[in-house]
């Protein structure tokens, strides 16, 4: 199959890659760009472990063909912290023990960050519905909801 | 002699006895004694068993001591998720 | 939290605090490396061909068209594995690669390795398999009937009484007293039949591995597993190589819950690698995970309990029929042993039947067998309480097992914490909160044994006074944090001076799997003992320096000190100071522990649930949930709470939504997260937790395991809440809307 040449931005860095037209964005991030933070839990858009942002919108990386990324701005978990500082969400996930195995964490952080950009003061119910596409089998979500809520409060305080 | 309580479905292999008395000072000797007394128990013991000694469940260590007054109960081998 | 005896009255400095886990930053930044995150130069991609039939004879496999593809570098079938295996190794091989017959939908029949994942998948389509389709059975009750298709002949062991169908492969019985005499003294006897469907462990990370095996029999395996030592041992047997020549490294593991205690693709990747002499990576798809890895057993159960008007249980009897797929091993003995474990009964009798079906081989799932048994028994107790007008917690307290009670599974209990969990549940605000119309409240107790197993730990000092702790139990839910805490406590240094690593199989003694809620207990005990061994060596160095006896030196707050005035006057010397000079005072200082500890403490929990049922749609919502469980001692309370909450959430899924659905053709109808629906964030309420601490005398700090007991009560607690809300007893799981509507209709029809 003819390979395709794609130019995009990932976490602010310009990238260029060639890919099989059947390859997903998730495949390319992991196998060609060495960004293995996004995980494949199902490959069918049901679990959200591969959540990334494409031009600001949360997308399942497994449902997007890499060839569609031409000119797009992609964001992954690797781009959440800036410089040496962890993001408030990351800090609060650690503080609240909001992860056990950690496989869903990258996708949940990407989705939660997008939530707080759109709604800086979500209710617990809004957090639960926003994250309903991100499966976690370990925690029962309790500590995740608390971590997102506290991160939001901290971010509002720090402006 | 130590009295060893068997679980119900083992009793047909011990002439219907609920309790078997064996000469033993360790868990390993308990198991050997059971097989000597009732060879039909061998495949079940070989498949893996735990031994409770005075309420303490010994999952594998054959060297654990057993006293003459110890309450010894044979149990299915434990496993977990 | 409650400190209930002198073991926890001890003052801890680090144990019981909530530090950030050592692997935390890696896990929130995407750096942590899980099973599928490994790559190797020259790596091939493996893929597995699976049977589309529930039961079929494999007449012929023609792989010539696939072999002709230039991208394809190896193809394997069962012929490429060791011959002459016996016992469980034989079953594992037969399960990961079919021999003469495919025994379930999804059973592996061949595998390929190719230069790309696309080519590997294309190659699978070019392998021709001729099947002779055979009759199948997927239901446990059907499989026991006289005319049921025989799944595998000769699979039964000696425990099975004569005259049973060949699909019945093991029999178990336990109990004591005279149940018929007990029933005769009861004021009310209730007998009910219950069914639960198979639930999958549902870890979000599919099985993944990267294997390299050379023609010299030396290999490397990277995989997500709950036990890399056991995985290595089984792989070596299946490949016919020496265990010590296969170095296995455990990746970070994206959930296991028992489902990653065995092997599936790992031996296949090794066999492909040996044939191609190149590294091979295999990553399962989600559909493969559902079709071919272990769900838990499905169950059919009859429970009969007699009670007096004052709530005394006079007798209990249970029959537990579990199917565990096409191989023996359904944990029916644990259903039988655990179901009545919370109660002090004079007369109790439990029977278990292990039945094989044309389904994937069951794998352990969190307290295997216990949740189903508890569902049946605790439902009948609830119904008795309802009909006799008794309070469900008071009745449970009246009959509760205590220290000295003879358990239904035989021995007398040592110190246990069931009563404390019931009392804490009764005192919790949840239990007295008013219910809204349409809501019901459910209570259930649950029990699990907990396990110890072979354990080796090594603790090495660095010259700067920091500590490298090597354990052999993969960290599924934060255990490296609790190991650092226990080592810090025992050494008297700070938490952040310690790094805990899950060592590979070449660098540490053999370790049993991370299962049976054993890690904090057994690796924790081993860590404390290794720290004490280190302290002993540190004291000896100080003693030699001071020219006094070892016995004249004590260890306090991270310093060696003279034991008393008679020992002489010396300034206390710190761990860091001794470590900085160790090269010149006798060499490296390393503490060890290698043993099979035998002191795991059993644990109990009591759960409270409020549920709301919509009689129009049959939909159920859990509106409030409280977990009360005896942890012995919570080393890191946040992760203990996390285990409580996670067990409850999985129980909610199993009770309300999750089930394996097989069609008439014996094929799994819902092998994906869309149709096999695990709870999502918007389905659940906050899950309140109460940590009870009744110390386990078998652990230096009192630890009992916590990971499994939390899934024992939920099925019954939720069924009791839903039954009380709906006004009709629900005896079949999951309580999906169609089943609830059916039960409501049947009740309305009288």
Angle between helix A88-95 and helix A105-118 axes, rounded to 10 deg: 130
Does the N-terminal peptide bond of residue C487 adopt cis geometry, omega within 30 degrees of 0?
no
pLDDT digits (tens, 9 = 90+) for C477-535: 999 999 999 999 999 999 999 999 999 999 999 999 999 999 999 999 999 999 999 99
Contact criterion met (CB below 8 Å) for C626 and C444: no
Residue window 676-705, chain C: list those with CB within 8 Å of chain B.
Answer: 698
Report phi then psi at C270, rounded to 5.
-65, -40
Residue window 384-443, chain C: list those with CB within 8 Å of chain A.
Answer: none
Task: List all residues 6 or more positions away from C88 whose beta carbon is below 8 Å from its beta carbon.
Answer: none
What confidence tier does C2 reach under pLDDT thresholds 50, 70, 90? very low
Distances from the Cα of C714 to the Cα of A154, C373, C491, C522, C708, angstroms: 35, 12, 39, 26, 12
Contact criterion met (CB below 8 Å) for A107 and A39: yes
Encoded tokens for C462: 């660095």
Interatomic CA distance for residues C44 and C23, integer angstroms: 30
Q: What is the mean pLDDT of the segment spanning B23-31?
A: 97
Q: Do chains B and C touch (3 or more CB pairs under 8 A)?
A: yes
Contact with chain A for residue C479, Cβ under 8 A: no
Tell me, rounded to whole angstroms, the distance of Cα B14 from its chain centroid.
Answer: 12
Residues of chain C in contact with residue A143, where contact means CB-CB under 8 angstroms, are 638, 641-642, 645
The DSSP annotation for C124-179 comes to HHT-EEEEEE------HHHHHSTTPPPSSTT---TTSPTT--TTEEEEEEEEES-H
Contact criterion met (CB below 8 Å) for C469 and C485: no
pLDDT digits (tens, 9 = 90+) for C534-593: 999 999 999 999 999 999 999 999 999 999 988 889 999 999 999 999 999 999 999 999
pLDDT digits (tens, 9 = 90+) for C644-695: 999 999 999 999 999 999 999 999 999 999 999 999 999 999 999 999 999 9
The shortest C-alpha distance from A103 to chain C (Å) reads 5
Residues of chain B in contact with residue C698, where contact means CB-CB under 8 angstroms, are 56
Residues of chain C in contact with residue B5, where contact means CB-CB under 8 angstroms, are 410
Contact with chain B for residue C158, Cβ under 8 A: yes
User: Above 60 in pLDDT, residue C710?
Assistant: yes
Q: Which residue of A has its CA nearest to C475?
A: A101
Task: List all residues 6 or more positions away from C362 whose beta carbon is below 8 Å from its beta carbon.
Answer: C198, C294, C295, C296, C297, C323, C324, C325, C329, C330, C331
CB contact under 8 A, B81 and C453: no
Contact criterion met (CB below 8 Å) for C72 and C114: yes
pLDDT at C185: 98
The shortest C-alpha distance from C43 to chain B (Å) reads 32
pLDDT digits (tens, 9 = 90+) for C34-47: 999 999 999 999 99
pLDDT digits (tens, 9 = 90+) for C599-612: 999 999 999 999 99
pLDDT at C68: 98
What confidence tier does A159 reach under pLDDT thresholds 50, 70, 90? confident
Interatomic CA distance for residues C639 and C626, integer angstroms: 16
Interface probe for B, chosen from C353, C405, C598, C707 (most Cβ of B below 10 Å), is C598
Contact criterion met (CB below 8 Å) for B80 and C449: yes
User: Above 70 in pLDDT, residue C9?
Assistant: no
Interface probe for C, chosen from A4, A53, A101 (most Cβ of C below 10 Å), is A101
pLDDT digits (tens, 9 = 90+) for A12-27: 999 999 999 999 999 9
Residues of chain B in contact with residue C450, where contact means CB-CB under 8 angstroms, are 80
Nearest by Cα to C737 from C654, C632, C615: C615
pLDDT at C1: 39
Contact criterion met (CB below 8 Å) for C463 and C41: no
Encoded tokens for C417: 């914490």
pLDDT at A43: 98
DSSP C221: E
CB contact under 8 A, A141 and C681: yes
Interatomic CA distance for residues A91 and A151, integer angstroms: 8
Contact with chain C for residue B63, Cβ under 8 A: no
Residues of chain B in contact with residue C164, where contact means CB-CB under 8 angstroms, are none
Q: Which residue of C has its CA nearest to A80?
A: C29
Encoded tokens for B59: 């999952």
Interatomic CA distance for residues C471 and C509, integer angstroms: 9
Interatomic CA distance for residues A77 and A109, integer angstroms: 7
What confidence tier does C310 reach under pLDDT thresholds 50, 70, 90? very high
Q: Do chains A and C touch (3 or more CB pairs under 8 A)?
A: yes
CB contact under 8 A, B76 and C452: no
Interatomic CA distance for residues C566 and A102, integer angstroms: 54
The shortest C-alpha distance from A90 to chain C (Å) reads 6
What confidence tier does B26 reach under pLDDT thresholds 50, 70, 90? very high
Residues of chain C in contact with residue B13, where contact means CB-CB under 8 angstroms, are 158
Residues of chain C in contact with residue B20, where contact means CB-CB under 8 angstroms, are none
CB contact under 8 A, C410 and B61: no
CB contact under 8 A, C515 and B79: yes
User: Above 80 in pLDDT, residue C5?
Assistant: no
User: Above 80 in pLDDT, residue C4?
Assistant: no
Q: What is the mean pLDDT of the segment spanning C421-447?
A: 98
pLDDT digits (tens, 9 = 90+) for A108-133: 999 999 999 999 999 999 999 999 99
pLDDT at B78: 87
Angle made by CA atoms C641, C644, C648, in degrees to the nearest 5:
140
Task: List all residues 6 or more positions away from A95 whose beta carbon is below 8 Å from its beta carbon.
Answer: A147, A150, C20
Nearest by Cα to C206 from C108, C280, C288, C96: C288
Contact criterion met (CB below 8 Å) for C352 and C336: yes
Contact criterion met (CB below 8 Å) for C51 and C107: yes
User: Above 50 in pLDDT, residue C3?
Assistant: no
User: Above 90 in pLDDT, residue C10?
Assistant: no
Encoded tokens for A34: 């060495």
Tell me, rounded to whole angstroms, the distance of Cα A57 from its chain centroid.
Answer: 10
Interatomic CA distance for residues C199 and C205, integer angstroms: 16
Q: Strand, helix or coil at A50?
A: coil
Nearest by Cα to C603 from C393, C344, C394, C342: C342
Q: Which pairs from B41-46 meet CB under 8 Å and 24+ separation?
A: B41/B10, B41/B13, B41/B14, B43/C157, B43/C158, B44/B10, B44/B13, B44/C158, B44/C159
Signed CA dihedral, C673, C677, C682, C684: sign only = negative
CB contact under 8 A, C681 and A100: no
pLDDT digits (tens, 9 = 90+) for C62-105: 999 999 999 999 999 999 999 999 999 999 999 999 999 999 99
Q: What is the mean pLDDT of the segment spanning A69-88?
A: 95
Task: List all residues 6 or more positions away from A27 whose beta carbon is below 8 Å from its beta carbon.
Answer: A19, A66
Contact with chain B for residue C670, Cβ under 8 A: no
CB contact under 8 A, A44 and C37: no
H helices within C339-453, ranges in order? 370-388, 392-399, 418-427, 429-432
User: Above 80 in pLDDT, residue C6?
Assistant: no
What confidence tier does A1 reach under pLDDT thresholds 50, 70, 90? low
Signed CA dihedral, B53, B54, B57, B61: sign only = negative
């Amino acid at each position: 199959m003819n390979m395709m040449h794609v130019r995009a931005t990932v976490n602010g860095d310009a990238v260029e890659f060639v890919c099989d037209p059947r390859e997903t964005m998730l495949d390319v991030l992991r196998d060609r760009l060495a960004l293995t933070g996004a995980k494949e839990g199902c490959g069918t858009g049901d679990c959200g472990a591969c959540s990334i942002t494409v031009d600001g919108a949360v997308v399942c990386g497994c449902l997007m063909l890499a060839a569609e990324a031409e000119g797009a701005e992609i964001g992954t978990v690797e781009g959440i912290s800036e410089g040496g500082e962890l993001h408030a969400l990351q800090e609060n996930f650690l503080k609240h023990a909001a992860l056990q195995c950690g496989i869903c964490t990258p996708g949940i952080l990407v989705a939660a960050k997008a939530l707080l950009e759109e709604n800086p003061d979500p209710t617990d119910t809004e957090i639960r519905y926003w994250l309903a596409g991100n499966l976690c089998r370990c925690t029962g979500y309790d500590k995740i909801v608390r971590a997102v809520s506290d991160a939001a409060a901290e971010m509002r305080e720090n402006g | 002699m130590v009295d060893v309580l068997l679980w119900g479905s083992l009793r047909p292999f011990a002439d219907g006895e609920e309790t078997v008395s064996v000469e033993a000072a360790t868990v390993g000797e308990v198991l050997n004694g059971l097989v000597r007394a009732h060879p039909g128990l061998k495949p079940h013991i070989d498949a893996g068993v735990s031994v409770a000694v005075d309420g303490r469940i010994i999952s594998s260590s054959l060297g654990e001591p057993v006293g003459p007054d110890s309450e010894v109960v044979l149990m299915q081998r434990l496993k977990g998720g | 939290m409650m400190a209930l005896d002198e073991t926890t009255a001890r003052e801890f400095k680090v144990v019981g605090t909530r530090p950030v886990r050592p692997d935390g930053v890696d896990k929130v930044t995407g750096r942590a490396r899980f099973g599928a995150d490994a790559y190797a130069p020259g790596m091939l991609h493996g893929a597995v061909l699976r049977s589309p039939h529930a039961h079929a004879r494999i007449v012929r496999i023609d792989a010539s068209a696939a072999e002709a593809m230039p991208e394809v570098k190896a193809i394997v079938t069962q012929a490429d594995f060791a011959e002459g295996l016996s016992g469980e190794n034989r079953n594992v091989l037969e399960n990961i690669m079919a021999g003469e017959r495919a025994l379930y939908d999804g059973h592996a029949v061949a595998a390929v390795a190719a230069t790309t994942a696309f080519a590997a998948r294309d190659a699978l389509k070019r392998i021709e398999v001729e099947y002779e389709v055979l009759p199948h059975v997927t239901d446990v009750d059907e499989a026991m009937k006289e005319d049921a298709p025989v799944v595998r002949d000769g699979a039964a062991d000696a425990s099975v009484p004569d005259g049973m169908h060949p699909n019945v492969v093991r029999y178990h019985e336990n109990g004591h007293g005279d149940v018929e005499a007990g029933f005769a003294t009861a004021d009310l006897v209730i007998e009910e039949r219950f069914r639960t469907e198979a639930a999958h462990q549902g870890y979000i990370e599919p099985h993944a591995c990267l294997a390299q095996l050379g023609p010299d029999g030396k290999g490397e395996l990277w995989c997500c597993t709950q036990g890399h030592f056991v995985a290595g041992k089984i792989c070596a047997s299946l490949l016919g190589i020496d265990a010590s020549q296969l170095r296995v490294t455990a990746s970070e593991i994206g959930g296991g819950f028992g489902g990653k205690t065995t092997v599936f693709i790992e031996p296949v990747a090794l066999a492909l690698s040996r044939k191609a002499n190149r590294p091979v990576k295999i990553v399962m798809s989600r559909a493969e995970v559902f079709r071919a890895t272990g769900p838990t057993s499905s169950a059919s159960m009859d429970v009969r309990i007699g009670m007096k008007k004052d709530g005394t249980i006079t007798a209990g009897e249970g029959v537990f029929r579990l199917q565990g797929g096409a191989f023996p091993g359904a944990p029916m003995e644990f259903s039988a042993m655990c179901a009545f474990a919370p109660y002090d009964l004079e007369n109790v009798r439990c029977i278990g039947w292990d039945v094989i079906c044309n389904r994937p081989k069951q794998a352990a799932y969190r307290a295997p067998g216990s949740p189903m048994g508890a569902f049946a028994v605790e439902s009948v107790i609830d119904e008795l309480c309802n009909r006799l007008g008794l309070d469900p917690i008071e009745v449970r307290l009246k009959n509760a097992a205590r220290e000295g009670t003879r358990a239904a599974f035989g021995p007398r209990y040592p110190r246990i914490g069931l009563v404390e969990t019931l009392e804490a549940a009764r005192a919790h605000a949840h239990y007295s909160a008013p219910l809204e119309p349409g809501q019901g409240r459910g209570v259930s107790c649950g029990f699990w044994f907990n396990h110890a197993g072979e354990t080796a730990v090594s603790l090495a000092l660095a010259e700067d006074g920091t500590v490298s702790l090597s354990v052999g139990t993969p960290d599924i839910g934060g255990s490296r944090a609790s190991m650092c805490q226990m080592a810090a406590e025992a050494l008297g240094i700070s938490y952040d001076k310690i790094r805990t690593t899950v060592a590979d199989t070449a660098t540490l003694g053999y370790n049993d799997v991370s299962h049976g809620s054993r890690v904090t207990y057994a690796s924790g005990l081993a860590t404390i003992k290794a720290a004490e061994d280190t302290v002993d060596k540190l004291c000896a160095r100080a003693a030699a320096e001071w020219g006094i006896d070892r016995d004249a030196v004590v260890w306090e707050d991270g310093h060696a000190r003279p034991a008393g005035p008679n020992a002489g006057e010396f300034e206390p010397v710190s761990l860091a100071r001794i470590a900085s000079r160790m090269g010149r005072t006798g060499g490296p200082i390393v503490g060890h522990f290698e043993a099979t500890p035998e002191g795991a403490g059993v644990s109990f929990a009591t759960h409270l649930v409020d549920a709301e049922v919509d009689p129009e749609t049959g939909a159920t919502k859990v509106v409030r949930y409280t977990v009360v469980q005896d942890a012995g001692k919570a080393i890191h309370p946040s992760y203990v709470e996390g285990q409580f909450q996670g067990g409850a959430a999985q129980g909610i899924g199993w009770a309300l939504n999750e089930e394996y659905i097989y069609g008439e053709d014996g094929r799994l109808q819902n092998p994906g997260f869309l149709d096999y629906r695990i709870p999502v964030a918007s389905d659940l309420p906050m899950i309140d937790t109460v940590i009870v601490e009744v110390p386990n005398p078998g652990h230096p700090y009192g630890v009992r395991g916590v990971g499994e007991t939390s899934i024992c009560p939920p099925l019954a607690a939720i069924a009791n809440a839903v039954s009380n809300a709906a006004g009709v007893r629900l005896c079949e799981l999951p309580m999906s809307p169609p089943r609830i509507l059916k039960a409501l209709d049947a009740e309305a029809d009288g």
